Structure 1
Amino acid sequence: MLKRNTLKNRKHADGQQAEALAEAFLIKQGYQPLERNFHSRVGEVDLIMRQHNTYVFVEVRYRANASRGKAAESITQHKYQRCLKTAQYWLMKHHLSGSQFQIDVIAIDGSLDEQHITWMPAV
């Protein structure tokens, strides 16, 4: 049981590090951070950012190695729909229902550094 918890804790820490890296990368691109790890009944969004008048909901995917495929390949249609519903809920909750928004994906394969980021804006 201890080994299993250690692996789970490491994956959680890697996920948090990937999100922090993605957030820093997007800030360099001119995005303004608004919220991290927004949870609702319909789903969860890793990062909520804003660029000009557009709200950007970001799903961050990280794969340390390719044994289970590339990070970008892990975004299924089901996961995208959950992100979309969560984004719509967040906008409604903040009385921003008519606002422009998009869903971006930051995929990181291998090392947790900017050289391994693949940014897919408005997927």
Structure 2
Amino acid sequence: MWFSQEDKRTDKRIKGDDKERLAEDYLLTDKGFSLIERNFLCKSGEIDLIMKDQDYLVFIEVRYRENKEFGGALASITVSKQKKLRRAAEYYLLQHFGNTPPPCRFDVVGIEGQDEILWIKNAF
């Protein structure tokens, strides 16, 4: 029997995709962002969302935790993860803007429990 790609996705990935869509909807609807790209992937890593907020290009990491044990969703962004995000963003900027990148920043959207959204603008 053949399985589609949809069938092969794990529950964790499905839940992660759902939370990324929740974060995207929050930033589009409540904060007025516009979507540029989802799940940008390169050798350096993945950027969950790339969005525009007025004049800023915003690289967004979405984190979900069912509870706040061990610090919760926001505490799960390690220095190592920040470095990977920066490298992926540098690659994206070089590919799309060359030597004239727009102003940009890194935001984090943490989602905990029953979809409690915590947004940190210019997180690192």
Q: CA RMSD in A?
A: 1.7
- Residues 33-52 of structure 1 aligned to structure 2 (within 5 Å): 33-52=35-54
With structure 2 as the length reference, what TM-score do the two structures score?
Answer: 0.85
- Residues 1-123 of structure 1 aligned to structure 2 (within 5 Å): 9-28=10-29, 29-95=31-97, 97-112=100-115, 116-123=116-123
The CA deviation string for residues 76-118 of structure 1, in whole angstroms up to 9 with x for no partner, is 0110111111111111111254211000000011013xxx000
SS at match of 1:47: strand
* Structure 1 outlier segments of 4+, above 4 Å: none
SS at match of 1:94: helix
Q: How many residues align?
A: 114
List alignment gaps of at least 5 residues for structure 2: 1-8
User: Taking every aligned residue pair, what percent have the same amino acid on both sides?
Assistant: 37
With structure 1 as the length reference, what TM-score do the two structures score?
Answer: 0.86
List alignment gaps of at least 5 residues for structure 1: 1-7
Greater CA deviation, 96-105 or 64-73? 64-73
* CA distance in structure 2 between the aligned counterparts of 1:65 and 1:11, rounded to whole angstroms: 15
